[in-house]
Amino acid sequence: MREVLALAGLQVAVVGTGAVGQAMLQVLAERSFPVAGIKVLATSRSAGKKVRFAGEELHVEETTPDAFRGIDLCLFAGGEASKQFARAAVAQGAVVIDNSSTFRLEPDVPLVVPEVNPEAVKSHRGIIANPNCSTIQMVVVLKPLHDAARIKRVVVSTYQAVSGAGAEAMEELRVQAGAVLRDEQAPPPQVFPWPIAFNLFPHIDVFLDNGYCKEEMKMILETQKIMEEPEMRITATTVRVPVFVGHSEAINIETEGKLTAQEARRLLAEAPGVVVEDDPAARLYPLPIRAAGRDEVFVGRIREDLSVERGLALWVVADNLRKGAATNAVQIAELLLEYNLL
Ligand code: 3JN
C-alpha cells in the first residue's frame, strides 16, 4: 500500500513561506520529488499570499491543527510553527521533517545528514530533525576524515550569511548597504543587534550562561549527536558577516591518526556531496558567491596544521538555504521513500 502511494505521489505540506520555505518548494520541484498534491501553510499574516511551485501558483493557507489532515509528508521550514504544530501533524499521520532546533537534541528524534548518518532515519517516530545550517556543512566534511583518522578535537569559526536569519535580514543588509554607499543615515537595525553592512559581529542567536552563543552550542551538540561521538571535543565561534547567501567555516581538526593534506584531499574528493576546490596557486578555494545556488559542500585550503602533531586546517563553504536547510530536508524525504518509511 505504502509503495503504491509513493509511486502515485505524496500529499505534501510545507510550513513557512520565508527564505527556507521558498527554497524547500524550489528543491522539491527541481528534484522531481513525487508530489501528488501540495499545500503551503503559514501564519495568518501570510495566509492568502501566493507562492510558486513547479510553475504553478499556490495560495498560502493558515496553519491550523486540522490543516494536516490527509498529509503524508510535512516539511517545517523553521520558527515557532514547529513547536505549535509538528506534534499535531504527526498525530494526523504525517511524517514531519523539521528545520527548527525544537526537537534536534531529543533522544528519540533522529537528527540526519544523509551523507553522514542516513540509517538514523529508520528509528523515526514521526519527527526527523534537520540540523542547523552551520552543523550540516561541517559534518559532511568531518565524517570521511573521522572515519579515516578519528577526530579528537575540532575548532571552528564561522562566517555566516545574513540569509541564515531570514528574508528580513537580507533586506536589512540591502537597505543599510545602500544607505552607506549613498552617504546617508541608515535606519537602525531591526533584525540584528548591530549594523551588518560593512561590519561583522561574533553574535548569532542568544548568549548563554557559559559565554557561548546558542548557535555555537548548536554546532557542538548537534555534531556530537550526528557523529555519534558525545565525547568529541568541539569549540565554535559563530560570526555574522555581510554576505547574502553562503556560510563559510574555518575548521581545524586534531586527529588520532596521521592524515597528510594529500590524503585528506583524496578522501574528500571521494566523499558524497563534497567538492574539493583546492588550488591556491590558481586562486581556487571555496567562495560563497560560487557555492550559492549549489547543493554540494565545497572544501579547500586543505593543509597540515603546523601547530599540532596530527591536525588539518580546512575552509568549508555551502549554500545555507539549500544544503544547510532545504536540500538536506528534501534528501531526508528521499531517504524515507528509499527505505519505504513514508
Ligand atoms: O543564523 C543562521 O545563520 C542560522 C540560523 C538558524 C536559526 C534561526 C532561528 C531559529 C535556527 C536554527 O536553525 O537553529 C533557529 C532555531 O530553530 O532555533
CATH-assigned architecture of domain 135-320:
2-Layer Sandwich (3.30)
Distance 298 CA to ligand 1 centre (A): 21
Are the beta carbons of 175 and 186 closer than 8 angstroms? Answer: yes
Residue with cell 545556488: 293
The 10s digit of each residue's pLDDT in 92-125 is 999 999 999 999 999 999 999 999 999 999 999 9
pLDDT, tens only, 160-207 = 999 999 999 999 999 999 999 999 999 999 999 999 999 999 999 999
**What's the pLDDT band for 7 if we cut at 50, 70, 90?**
low
Biggest CA pair distance of the chain: 64
247 as an active site residue: the answer is: yes
Q: Where are the domains of the chain?
A: 2-131+325-338, 135-320
Bridge-based pairing state of the strands 56-59 and 50-53: antiparallel
CATH code for the part of the protein at 2-131+325-338? 3.40.50.720
Distance CA 41, CA 46 (A): 9
Overall pTM > 0.85: yes
Please classify residue 50 by burial: count the beta carbons closer than 10 Å to its beta carbon, then call 0-12 exposed, 13-18 middle and 19+ buried: exposed
Q: Which of 101, 163, 248 has the most ligand 1 atoms within 8 A of CB, as the residue to mutate?
A: 101
The pLDDT-based confidence of 1 (bands split at 50, 70, 90) is very low
Q: Which of 124, 133, 146, 213 is catalytic?
A: 133
